[in-house]
Amino acid sequence: MLEIEFANAGVEISLVLLLLLGLMVGVLSGFFGVGGGFLITGGLIVFGVPTPFAVGTGLTLIMGSSIINTLKHRHLGHVDFKLGLILVSGTIPALFLAEWLINSLEAAGLAGPVIRYVYVVVLAVLGLFIVYDFLRTRRATVAQVGEITTARLAQRVQSLKIPPHSITIPGYRRVPTYVSFPASGIDRISVFIPFTVGIGAGLFAGLLGAGGGTVLMPVLIFVLGIPTTIAIGTDLFQIIITGSMGTFIKSFNNHVDPVMVVIMLSSASLGSQLGTAATRYVAASRIRILFGVTVLSGSVAVAMEQASRASWGGEALSTAASVLLLGFAGVICIMIAVMMVVAKRGAGGKQAVGRLETRNTHEAGD
């Protein structure tokens, strides 16, 4: 395979592998609404890119991919801009805190191992919970389509009363600190809740280069009770701003390889077409379970890569990690395409039956 040397990152990587990774990031980003950072950062680490460059380059690709996908989800009515702006107000300051933490870890020579270990643990916990939720809802005989096991938790969170209950804006008036998000189906919630969620997403994005969406999307669904498709679109919207700020910070610290970004973005733009379109046809519960198992695969792959650096037979483990990460993501992409085709055919068949029944009714009336 054609090997390209990336001077900024100091590595040689196959062009085919980068294009393939970009394509899968585009599909999964459009379908899951998480920017694809859980795949791109892990993938670059597995390909041998130094961790700081994997984080910075991943954030830059996430920004470009999210712009494309947000425009498509906006067309479908899947973006809550009001919620997204409040999330971002917490995300941006958290990005600067995360960069300070990374620089401190680099100075101590701990950046690589710490980031990889945190990455593995966070993704494993998220993936296992999402799979657990899917299995629980499937066993519930009266469960509605798309229902989650944390519905009561989401109701409690929305009803939390957090002081101060109002603030005075100089030159204006006293305003309440409770807001509504009609697009997300929330009548009233303390503004401090989505603000705090945004801080957590910003820390995750800055530390692990995952756009924050890997954590944010599940939190929006399972903690705040946002419908899955709205959570996907809104997550992508805030990732645009998060990715832009993160890219600026990483570029300032020379942790971005622009050539690598351009190569992967060219194929990611194609994959996003499929991923976004599929959300119109695939059930919300299936989107969540596919996200869960994909996140788990990323966790296992990065764990294998970390083990390869600390044990005998490291090259074999590293190769296995690369095969697992790309192979599993590729399988998920194929499953997304198949489910969309099956759902479209089913919808087309129902429409045809409906037209036939209507025509027969009119003929009988004549």
Q: What is the mean pLDDT of residues 277-285?
A: 86
- pLDDT of res. 48: 80
The residues spanned by each domain of the chain are 3-350
Give the residue with greater pLDDT, 149 vs 225: 225
Query: Looking at 245-254, 329-338, 356-365, which range is the least confident one?
Result: 356-365
Determine the length of the chain. Answer: 366
pLDDT above 90 coverage of the chain, percent: 19
Model confidence pLDDT, tens digit, residues 209-225: 555 677 888 899 999 99
- pLDDT of res. 223: 93
Give the residue with greater pLDDT, 32 vs 84: 84
**8 Å CB contact between 43 and 326:** yes
- Burial of 75 per CB tally in 10 Å (0-12, 13-18, 19+): exposed
- pLDDT of res. 353: 43
Instruction: Give this prediction's pTM.
Output: 0.77
Q: Is residue 50's pLDDT more than 90?
A: no
Strands 3-6, 11-14: pairing is antiparallel
- 12 beta partners: 5
Outline where DSSP puts E strands in the chain: 3-6, 11-14, 166-168, 174-176, 178-181, 186-190
- pLDDT of res. 209: 57
Q: Is residue 288's pLDDT more than 50?
A: yes
Distance (Å) of CA 358 to CA 122, 353, 355, 363: 53, 9, 5, 9
Q: Is residue 33's pLDDT more than 80?
A: no
Give the residue with greater pLDDT, 142 vs 136: 136
Q: What are phi and psi of 108, to 5 degrees?
A: -90, 0
* Residue linked to tokens 């503004």: 191
> Whole-angstrom Cα distance, residue 299 to residue 293?
10
Q: What is the mean pLDDT of residues 106-113?
A: 78
Q: What is the mean pLDDT of residues 248-255?
A: 77
Q: What is the mean pLDDT of residues 98-122?
A: 81
Query: Looking at 24-33, 168-177, 196-205, 207-216, which range is the least confident one?
Result: 207-216
- pLDDT of res. 143: 45
* Residue linked to tokens 């709205």: 230
Give the residue with greater pLDDT, 348 vs 203: 203
Give the residue with greater pLDDT, 227 vs 360: 227
